[in-house]
Amino acid sequence: MSNVDWEGNEETHGDPDEQRVLFGALDSFYQYAKVAHFNTTHLRRQSFYALPRAHLELLASPPFSYLDTLNAVDDAIDKNAELSLAIWQAGLESFGIPPHPNAPQPKYPDWQGKATSLDMEKARSTLRQFYRDWSEEGKTEREACYQPVLKALEDERLARSGSKMRVLVPGAGLARLVFDLCCAGFDTEGNEISYHQLLASSYILNYCNDSHAHTLFPWVHSFSNHRNRSNHLKCVQIPDLHPGTTLGSIKNGGEMSMSASDFLLLYGDERHKDTFDVVATVFFLDTAPNIIRYIEAIRNCLQPGGLFVNVGPLLWHFENNAPGQHGHEKGSASEKSPDRSPDKSDARGIADPGTVELTDDEVVVLIEKLGFDIEKRDFGITAPYIQDPESMLQNTFKASHWVARKR
């Protein structure tokens, strides 16, 4: 399989704001081990040694051996760091950025020291997401959300007598659904705005040399709700398969591409009008500040008669923003340009002001009012999301699934 190019990369070279976001992501993967060691074990050692001496001695001895546990956690973080640094190195290579600040570099200033605390949290979360998308153990989570999409697309292909279909996956994340659809013979384009996700997906698709190349400890950062220490220190091998080898062995596999851009700005334009047969959204719609804008962009890039397939909950990502503050957060797109009406052609995409949260029933009615016919609707799909199945705390979504056709 040839490298999966990112449409939109070229914009980063000349945009200082884009560079700042990219550098924050790169630096967060680079700093992962140092920050994780400090937050996860160093502070706990300090707290442990502050215990009364008798309590400390009790817990330092078997069967607790708490200090040995902290050492094991440090070892696990070091293994996670091998993956994190591999993502960092591949990212530098992808963007032509020298790894050392003193190296000659015509395009970029120094990337080091740019990560914020939010960047660090995103890096840690991205590493955990490999459990869901690229481990054998995450297969149950993937099947719950991806199989309804695959089934809808297979049915549509059959109805079209096996004709080739072009699919868009907004919010593609680590690109496993994009990959699975390509393996099933669909020409698939993924779209993602997060540099953390883009760097990680590019590494796994383009640079990782083999299956089981990395050992990941997905639950090691939290000490809560573990039944036993073995669960806490459970590891998985990623990726569960080698993407290039797997896709190359499939006779009628589809074409794969990724775009690094704001979904609304890219797919709501005239150039992308009527270009896709299917838009598949999985755990994506609730990332919308204004879901009408999402649906309008999807309608724009779908061909007449095309399918809009959705699976996911409605955990509205901007629900807790203060009224009027969406699009005005520090570092948001609105800092780069004056206030504009969301109806203007130069709107800021996802950073446009205004938010709204609807129920599942209301979303379905909205879909119909904006030019679609609902052909299938299910509710209550059990869908865990990066969930330790052995944890004492189980958070599981009851996801909605529907298939709509553009009129």
Residue 328: the pLDDT is 46
Cα separation, 236 vs 102, in Å, equals 37
Strand partners, 365: none
Binning pLDDT at 50, 70 and 90, where does residue 321 land? confident
Mean pLDDT for the chain overall: 90
Binning pLDDT at 50, 70 and 90, where does residue 99 land? confident
- Name which of 77, 69, 87, 71 is nearest 29 in CA terms: 87
Q: Assign residue 190 a region (left: φ > 0; alpha: ψ between -120 and 50; beta: otherwise).
A: beta
Please answer whether residues 278 and 178 qualify as being in contact, where contact means their C-beta atoms are separated by less than 8 angstroms. Answer: no
Cα separation, 133 vs 197, in Å, equals 12
Q: Which residues contact 160 (CB under 8 A, 6 or more apart)?
A: none
- Name which of 259, 261, 263, 270 is nearest 345 in CA terms: 270
pLDDT at 150 over 90: yes
Contacts of 183-187 with CB under 8 Å at 24 or more apart are 183/246, 183/247, 183/250, 183/253, 183/254, 184/150, 184/153, 184/154, 184/254, 185/157, 185/250, 185/252, 185/253, 185/254, 186/153, 186/157, 186/254, 186/278, 187/254, 187/255, 187/256
Cα separation, 57 vs 61, in Å, equals 6
Cα 209 from chain centroid? 21
Residue 102: the pLDDT is 56
Residue 205: the pLDDT is 97
Q: Residue 2 carries which DSSP code?
A: -
Cα separation, 130 vs 181, in Å, equals 18
pTM for the complete prediction? Answer: 0.91
SS3 404: strand
Cα 337 from chain centroid? 27
pLDDT at 397 over 80: yes
% of the chain surpassing 90 pLDDT? 81
The average pLDDT across 372-385 equals 96
Q: Residue 388 carries which DSSP code?
A: -
Phi and psi for 216 in degrees, rounded to 5? -115, 135
For the stretch 292-313, pLDDT in tens is: 999 999 999 999 999 999 999 9
Cα separation, 271 vs 187, in Å, equals 18
CATH of domain 12-97+114-319+347-406: 3.40.50.150
The average pLDDT across 114-130 equals 97
Please answer whether residues 185 and 252 qualify as being in contact, where contact means their C-beta atoms are separated by less than 8 angstroms. Answer: yes
Strand partners, 396: 384
Binning pLDDT at 50, 70 and 90, where does residue 103 land? low
% of the chain surpassing 70 pLDDT? 87
Tokens of 272: 């992308």
Count how many Cα atoms sit within 13 Å of the Cα of residue 334 in the half-sphere of its side chain: 16
For the stretch 6-54, pLDDT in tens is: 555 555 556 788 899 999 999 999 999 999 999 999 999 999 999 999 9
Q: Which residues contact 406 (CB under 8 A, 6 or more apart)?
A: 299, 302, 303, 304, 305, 306, 307, 308, 371, 372
Cα separation, 178 vs 244, in Å, equals 13
Radius of gyration of the chain from its Cα atoms, rounded to whole angstroms: 22
Residue 349: the pLDDT is 79
Element (H, E) at 372: strand 372-384
Q: What is the total residue count of the chain? A: 407
Q: Residue 322 carries which DSSP code?
A: P
Q: Which residues contact 321 (CB under 8 A, 6 or more apart)?
A: 329, 355
pLDDT at 398 over 80: yes
pLDDT at 276 over 70: yes
The average pLDDT across 389-407 equals 97
